[in-house]
Amino acid sequence: MTTFKEHGPGKLERAKRPDTEGKLTLAEILEIMAGGRLPLRFTAYDGSSAGPVDAPLGLELKTPRGTTYLATGRGDLGLARAYIAGDLEVHGVHPGDPYELLRALAGELVFKLPPRVTANIIRSVGAQHLLPIAPPPQEWQPRWRRAVGGLRHSKTRDAEVIHHHYDVSNTFYEWVLGPSMTYTCACYPRPDASLDEAQENKYRLVFEKLRLKPGDRLLDVGCGWGGMVRYAARRGVDATGVTLSQEQAAWAQRAINEEGLTDLAQVRYGDYRDIQETGFDAVSSIGLLEHIGVRNYPSYFDFLQSRLRPAGLLLNHCITRPDNRSEPSTRGFIDRYVFPDGELTGSGRIISAAQDVGLEVLHEENLRHHYAMTLRDWCANLVEHWDEAVAEVGLNTAKVWGLYMAGSRLAFETGGIQLHQVLAVKPGDGGGVGDLPLRPWWTP
């Protein structure tokens, strides 16, 4: 790893002088901002380079447009734009799984601008690179422009953002998710379990927590491609799913027909808030709360409770933050390219919202390490089917998914985000909860 000591203090001192001998190269600017510590090799179109010559990982800035993206994008957005557009190329990793490069960047490359060098860096970069330009077409519109589609988390706007993320291509999802077609955290019974085995085990865990048995009625909101619906129906449960993705609903209903489950299972295209039926024995919500909005938690839990019979069970499975104080709205790359309008908060706020509408919380657990493993396996699937994925959705979109999944894996590993399952019951008159056992009744 190169340091200022190895290169001498000249670059930083020269950058501090207003009467600099000449402009800084792009590599010099990066090295200054990184404090002289680069865990990888950086090369740029201006012929400059920095970092160990023999580094196994590298970044190559290929075009002036990439400089503009990097200079004008706040946080991780500039790097993502340059990478997705092809102006910044990665070396030493596959674009379907750039995990090792992201880990190197997150672990050691922390950008800090030393005092008294800003003006010289701006002068070296050039004013023409400080004016924003159009982002790659894969980028969703900024938040201020989304209001045209309705208020945040209105039915119309929710439908639009769900379409942006989930209606990419069912074929693409089949390659990434594998046969289970399950786009939520798996639960690995063993470290060496396969992805499909872990997803089946997750459905088994939810099924057992909800104490489902033949003849029961299950409502699965935000049901995706119907994995939970079909798992329950195979075991004699009357299962109804609902999703805001037309492609998911069509795929799920076709799978239900092919498995001969039409007497017990159905998946509807629509908003969960439009479900009219009540008296369900159980409600599962697996990966929906991230799209609801924190301010809507009270109405969300109140609605789900209203669909349950007395003593019915609710399981909420969603991504969370490690605290209950952070701003819930997602920012930067994730908001613009992956989950527009997504909001995450801590498990404490989720539990409080459930309790405040009258639900009794029975159990919660954190599965964040399982989600890191899930993302690892999704990336492996994308790498294996990279050529087909690129042919199906285009190179830039495939790169978005590799970057997003690898970055999310790193965030789960380091505790930046978590995954919590919360189990609750709707008390009946006098606080009755039916014949619930005194202690947890499921196999972990």
- Taking alpha carbons only, the member of 286, 344, 341, 296 closest to residue 158 is 341
218 has pLDDT over 60 = yes
Q: Could you state, in order of their start, the residue ranges of all structural domains in the chain?
A: 4-130, 155-431
pLDDT of residue 184: 98
363 has pLDDT over 70 = yes
CA dist list (Å): 228 to 109, 182, 193, 221, 237: 41, 9, 20, 10, 11
Element (H, E) at 389: helix 386-393
pLDDT of residue 126: 82
Q: From CA 106, how far away is CA 386, in angstroms rounded?
A: 25
Q: From CA 165, how far away is CA 400, in angstroms rounded?
A: 11
- Taking alpha carbons only, the member of 49, 42, 47, 52 closest to residue 3 is 52
Q: Where does the pLDDT of residue 30 fall: very low under 50, low under 70, confident under 90, or very high at 90 and above?
A: confident
pLDDT of residue 110: 46
Report the range out of 39-48, 148-157, 234-243 with the highest average pLDDT.
Answer: 234-243
Q: From CA 214, how far away is CA 233, in angstroms rounded?
A: 9
Q: Does residue 210 sit in helix, strand or coil?
A: coil
391's CB contacts (< 8 A; 6+ apart) are: none
Q: Where does the pLDDT of residue 7 fall: very low under 50, low under 70, confident under 90, or very high at 90 and above?
A: very low
Q: Could you tell me the two tokens for 70?
A: 């990097």
pLDDT of residue 225: 97
pLDDT of residue 118: 64
pLDDT of residue 153: 58
Q: Which pLDDT tens digit goes with each residue over 135-147?
A: 998 888 776 565 6
Name the CATH topology of 155-431.
Rossmann fold (3.40.50)
pLDDT of residue 157: 54
pLDDT of residue 360: 98
389 vs 165, residue with greater confidence: 389
Q: How many residues does the chain have?
A: 444
Alpha helices (H) along 216-292: 227-234, 246-258
CA dist list (Å): 235 to 151, 212, 214, 283: 40, 9, 6, 16
387 vs 107, residue with greater confidence: 387
Q: Where does the pLDDT of residue 5 fall: very low under 50, low under 70, confident under 90, or very high at 90 and above?
A: very low
The secondary structure of 114-176 as a DSSP string is -TT-HHHHHHHH-GGGGS--PPPTTSPPPHHHHGGG-STT-HHHHHHHHHHHH-S-HHHHHHH
pLDDT of residue 438: 95
Looking at 143-147, 210-214, 288-292, 302-306, which range is the least confident one? 143-147
Residues 198 and 381: beta-carbon distance below 8 Å: no
Phi, psi of 88 (to 5 degrees): -125, 120
